Amino acid sequence: MTKLPDSNYHAPTGPQKYMGKAIKRVEDPRFITGTGSYTDDINVHGQLHAAMLRSPYAHAKIGNIDASAALALPGVHAVLTGEDMKDVGSIPTGWLLPGLVVPHHAAIARGEVNYVGDIVAVVIADTRAIAEDAVALIDVDLDPLAAVSLGSQALADGAPLVHDEAPGNVAFQWEIGDAAATEAGFAQADRVVKLKLRNHRLVPNAIEPRASLAEYRAASDEYTLHTTSQNPHIHRLLLAAFVLGIPEQKLRVISPDVGGGFGSKIFQYAEEVIVLFAAKKLRRPIKWAARRSEAFVTDAQGRDHESEAEIALKNDGSFLALRVRTLANLGAYLTTFAPAVPTYLYGTLLNGVYKFPAIHAHVTGIFTNTVPVDAYRGAGRPEATYLLERIVSKAANELGLDPSEVRRRNFIQPQDFPYQTPVALVYDSGNYEPALDKALGMVGYQDLLKEQAEGRASGRKYIGIGFSTYVEACGLAPSALVGQLGAQAGQWESSVVRVMPTGKVEVLTGSHSHGQGHETTFAQLVAEELQIPMEDVTIVHGDTGKMPFGWGTYGSRSAAVGGSALKMALGKIKAKATRIAAHLLEAAPEDVEQVDGTFRVKGVPEGGKSFFDVSLMAHLAHNIPAEMEPGLEEQYMYDPKNFVYPFGTHVAVVEVDADTGKVKLRQYVAVDDCGPLMNPLIVEGQVHGGIAQGYGQAVLEETVYDDDGNLLSGNFMEYAMPRAEDMVQIQVDHTVTPSPHNPLGVKGIGESGTISSTAAVANAVVNALEAFGINHLDMPYTPEKVWQAIQGAKRDMPQAADD
């Protein structure tokens, strides 16, 4: 059988034992033996189950609710409606833009429902099956209202109004860049290339559906919430301060093993509010676990832009200006990060890796009667990359230049960093050409061009080669800056390093792992820095009862921000341990070094002190420096200096079957630069998965609403997810350009695959279709859509290549 090619790992140079090594994950044994503990695996004594009655209408007035039949069903304990929770606060948004309209968002709707899936009532019963039976027995009068599901339609005159407080369905108007300078750029242009495109809506679909289990202890007035969260402290903060008014110290939020997030488990959801409320009201633990079909109508969805872009060019392909207008569909309510995604995570990335003298972007945020939209893997950056990389490839095509050459001519050069873009960001470091060169070599570009030309000439084979040379912004920071931009959150991260008397180490991190492997990479960092075996290190995350605080994992921030917090805390541990060792060795701290784990006086190999000796003495405190605090535990709250900017080049090669419209992925090359690789195995796993998700958007996945706001793609039978046979072997490599913005030099890799791959695959498909005179087609490239496009092009151009 064919073995997949080995990855091109970049082993670290120097004496490093753990960092940079492809060490297999320490968390895996529990997952491969089925002994992980996900939220729905946890059951507690006396637990009841909640099931939701969800609106079948996208927009309706709620009339009388008769729950008598449901309440009469044996095993039913309660039916809750919006009236029962009328004193509970609105589910807040965590990012405020100037002039933002924030509609009230009740956990259980009152008066009106605003999307299919909005919660109308909740049944609490002995079992989930009984609760679901009882939901069907609730008699509710819903009076349907006109609804709207597409952003541009919601802006049209006379469109149905989603919220009375948002006239014209506008949530915000936002712009960035210099309109006058952009206009001047267009005035100088040899050529203007225009592109109108839709970035369609996606469902995140972590394979573990969301679940929550709430407990309340009346004696101490304390709550515990187990929930599927990427950031339990954010959940606690929002629930305590904004929604339920629980004293924050009385609410413990625990996220145990979490089965994927991709953004969808960042946000504050109604169900978590409901189970906490019900647990106190009924004095019983309450569990809710989503059915997949519920996840489709309640987990925040992603993307959904309608955009018009124009690029001003010189004939040599150099860029003069970029102008973008985007309508961003936000769905029915503003969830936690919703206003930030199409603005600060999108508009600021429209510069990409190029030298643009001027850019101007305008974004309209729009309410519709659909599931709320928020961050989905990449969040804003895939939308920016897709738009920019599509219009750059379209421009290359119109200029008759090679798409890789147009990119190369416009790259920001290594000596230009730090680089100020026209859309607010200052890039930290970059070297874009080596990544492009490496990708071109790996994909065999010249041979492919030859094969493509021969295939087109024969009219038998349509190969497409698609490029995406991307940059992303990770590790949103610093907190003061994001605060100025509207964030109602800090963007620092915490780490506590707790050394036991025996020299074993427990690390508490505010980052959260839902598949990213922190238990391994963070332990590698500890083992490296303290020169102790990895087996002596335990990483603890996901529990507000243990961590001092944390903002969690999203936006590829764990290594750059959480890892840096850990690195800084370890520095404090090392300093104190060295002082204790020096004291024991009767030497000055500056004369003590750690060699193979042993503290010794420089140049004196014998008579050293082990990490255990030092840890034990730190705790016994029988003989430590005068005035020194006993113990060996340090904490660091790390607020980064700035964002970090991973980049790279992805190349997709597809073959389009002109007779059926089927797009087949043939080859995929990814060259990413995320700075130093902490663990290449994990980095490459992140890249692989991200690419599959981005490919999914380009070719398979689509969230379809009809004009009345009904979700037509509401389960896995109607929404095409990438399966094993859709994917091919992915060729991955890296360049390494450290970031000066954090002590590890790392940049983040969790989203780059998704950010880059949609554009690469889209460009590849359109490149194949250029044989038919097609210069753009909106995703997803289903066989039917591609076939129709080819047939249409043939009708328009009877001389098309294959006739």
Partner 1 sequence: MSAPTPKKMDVTIHVNGEARTASIEPRTLLVHFLRDELELTGTHVGCDTSQCGACTVHLDGNAVKSCTVFAVQAQGRQVTTIEGIGKVGDLHAIQTGFWEEHGLQCGFCTPGMIMSSHELLKHTPNPTEHEIRHALEGNFCRCTGYHNIVRAVQHAANAMSGTQAPAAADD
CB of 403 to partner 1, least distance (A): 25
Q: Which of 559, 691, 746, 790 binds partner 1 (CB under 8 A)?
A: 691
C-alpha distances out from residue 609 to 525, 615, 627, 783, Å:
22, 10, 21, 68
Report the interhelical angle of 564-585 vs 611-620 (nearest 10°). Answer: 80
Structure tokens at 618: 């730190």
Q: Which of 118, 257, 383, 428 binds partner 1 (CB under 8 A)?
A: 257
CB of 374 to partner 1, least distance (A): 17
Residues 477, 555: contact at Cβ < 8 Å?
no
What are residue 545's phi and psi, to 5 degrees?
-75, -10
Those residues whose C-beta lies under 8 Å from the C-beta of residue 610, and which sit 6 or more positions away, are 503, 597, 598, 599
Q: Based on CB atoms, which residue is closest to partner 1, 289 or 361?
A: 289
- Find, among 551, 541, 542, 549, the residue nearest to 491 by Cα: 551
Structure tokens at 179: 């309109």
- Asked whether position 281 contacts partner 1 by CB under 8 A, the answer is no
- Asked whether position 767 contacts partner 1 by CB under 8 A, the answer is no
3-state secondary structure at position 287: strand
Report the interhelical angle of 680-695 vs 752-769 (nearest 10°). Answer: 40
Q: Give the binding range for partner 1 (CB under 8 A) out of 254-262, 299-307, 331-339, 535-543.
A: 254-262
Looking at residue 362, its amino acid is H
- Asked whether position 534 contacts partner 1 by CB under 8 A, the answer is no
What are residue 672's phi and psi, to 5 degrees?
-115, 155
Q: Give the binding range for partner 1 (CB under 8 A) out of 488-496, 711-719, 733-741, 782-790.
A: 711-719
Q: Based on CB atoms, which residue is closest to partner 1, 30 or 86?
A: 30
Q: Give the binding range for partner 1 (CB under 8 A) out of 235-243, 533-541, 548-556, 722-730.
A: 722-730
Q: Which of 681, 774, 777, 786 binds partner 1 (CB under 8 A)?
A: 681
- Asked whether position 688 contacts partner 1 by CB under 8 A, the answer is yes
Report the interhelical angle of 518-530 vs 564-585 (nearest 10°). Answer: 30
- Asked whether position 32 contacts partner 1 by CB under 8 A, the answer is yes
- Asked whether position 117 contacts partner 1 by CB under 8 A, the answer is no
Q: Which of 424, 727, 736, 800 binds partner 1 (CB under 8 A)?
A: 727
- Asked whether position 693 contacts partner 1 by CB under 8 A, the answer is yes
- Asked whether position 66 contacts partner 1 by CB under 8 A, the answer is no
Interatomic CA distance for residues 31 and 50, integer angstroms: 27
Q: Based on CB atoms, which residue is closest to partner 1, 130 or 251?
A: 130
Q: Based on CB atoms, which residue is closest to partner 1, 626 or 717?
A: 717
- Asked whether position 34 contacts partner 1 by CB under 8 A, the answer is yes
Residues 445, 465: contact at Cβ < 8 Å?
yes
- Asked whether position 678 contacts partner 1 by CB under 8 A, the answer is no
- Asked whether position 1 contacts partner 1 by CB under 8 A, the answer is yes
- Asked whether position 180 contacts partner 1 by CB under 8 A, the answer is no
- Asked whether position 219 contacts partner 1 by CB under 8 A, the answer is no
Interatomic CA distance for residues 766 and 222, integer angstroms: 57
CB of 256 to partner 1, least distance (A): 11
Interatomic CA distance for residues 23 and 458, integer angstroms: 49
- Give the number of residues in contact with partner 1, rule: CB under 8 A: 70
Q: Which of 79, 108, 653, 682 binds partner 1 (CB under 8 A)?
A: 682
CB of 761 to partner 1, least distance (A): 13
C-alpha distances out from residue 380 to 173, 194, 303, 305, Å:
16, 21, 7, 10
CA 82 to chain centre: 32
- Asked whether position 655 contacts partner 1 by CB under 8 A, the answer is no
358, containing H or E segment: strand 358-367
Interatomic CA distance for residues 370 and 380, integer angstroms: 19
Interatomic CA distance for residues 591 and 579, integer angstroms: 10
Interatomic CA distance for residues 549 and 527, integer angstroms: 23
Look at the chain and count its residues: 803
CB of 339 to partner 1, least distance (A): 26
- Asked whether position 25 contacts partner 1 by CB under 8 A, the answer is yes
Interatomic CA distance for residues 595 and 589, integer angstroms: 14
Q: Which of 10, 47, 69, 531 binds partner 1 (CB under 8 A)?
A: 69
Q: Which of 260, 434, 533, 571 binds partner 1 (CB under 8 A)?
A: 260
DSSP H helical ranges for 89-135: 128-135
Q: Based on CB atoms, which residue is closest to partner 1, 66 or 707?
A: 66
Q: Which of residues 289-318 bind partner 1 (CB under 8 A)?
A: 289, 291-293
- Find, among 88, 116, 421, 134, the residue nearest to 242 by Cα: 88
Q: Which of 604, 716, 791, 792 binds partner 1 (CB under 8 A)?
A: 716
Residues 739, 429: contact at Cβ < 8 Å?
yes
Interatomic CA distance for residues 781 and 783, integer angstroms: 6
Q: Based on CB atoms, which residue is closest to partner 1, 121 or 206?
A: 206
Give the x/- contact pattern for partner 1 in 497-526, rule: CB under 8 A: -----------------xxxx---------
- Asked whether position 20 contacts partner 1 by CB under 8 A, the answer is no
Structure tokens at 441: 């070599």
Residues 492, 509: contact at Cβ < 8 Å?
no
Q: Give the binding range for partner 1 (CB under 8 A) out of 217-225, 342-350, 504-512, 679-687.
A: 679-687
Residues 633, 497: contact at Cβ < 8 Å?
yes
The strand pairing partners of 303, in sequence order, are 201
Q: Based on CB atoms, which residue is closest to partner 1, 23 or 765?
A: 23
Q: Give the binding range for partner 1 (CB under 8 A) out of 108-116, 203-211, 387-395, 599-607.
A: 203-211
- Asked whether position 139 contacts partner 1 by CB under 8 A, the answer is no
CB of 385 to partner 1, least distance (A): 18
- Asked whether position 18 contacts partner 1 by CB under 8 A, the answer is no
Q: Which of 8, 10, 17, 31 binds partner 1 (CB under 8 A)?
A: 31
- Asked whether position 137 contacts partner 1 by CB under 8 A, the answer is yes
Q: Based on CB atoms, which residue is closest to partner 1, 58 or 206?
A: 206
Opening angle at CA 187, ends 185 and 192, nearest 5 = 80
CB of 515 to partner 1, least distance (A): 3
Q: Which of 14, 15, 33, 622 binds partner 1 (CB under 8 A)?
A: 33
- Asked whether position 37 contacts partner 1 by CB under 8 A, the answer is yes
Interatomic CA distance for residues 428 and 247, integer angstroms: 41
Give the x/- contact pattern for partner 1 in 603-642, rule: CB under 8 A: ----------------------------------------
Q: Based on CB atoms, which residue is closest to partner 1, 497 or 665?
A: 665
Interatomic CA distance for residues 308 and 20, integer angstroms: 43
Q: Based on CB atoms, which residue is closest to partner 1, 321 or 759?
A: 759
3-state secondary structure at position 434: helix
Opening angle at CA 747, ends 646 and 373, nearest 5 = 70
Those residues whose C-beta lies under 8 Å from the C-beta of residue 743, and which sit 6 or more positions away, are 564, 567, 568
Q: Give the binding range for partner 1 (CB under 8 A) out of 552-560, 721-729, 740-748, 768-776.
A: 721-729
Interatomic CA distance for residues 76 and 124, integer angstroms: 6
Residues 160, 145: contact at Cβ < 8 Å?
yes
Interatomic CA distance for residues 695 and 750, integer angstroms: 15
Q: Based on CB atoms, which residue is closest to partner 1, 6 or 87?
A: 6
Q: Which of 14, 45, 64, 74 binds partner 1 (CB under 8 A)?
A: 74
> Which residues of the chain form contacts with partner 1 (CB under 8 A)?
1-4, 24-25, 27-38, 40-41, 43, 69, 72-75, 129, 133, 137, 205-209, 257-260, 262, 289, 291-293, 514-517, 681-682, 684-686, 688-693, 715-717, 721-725, 727, 729-730, 753
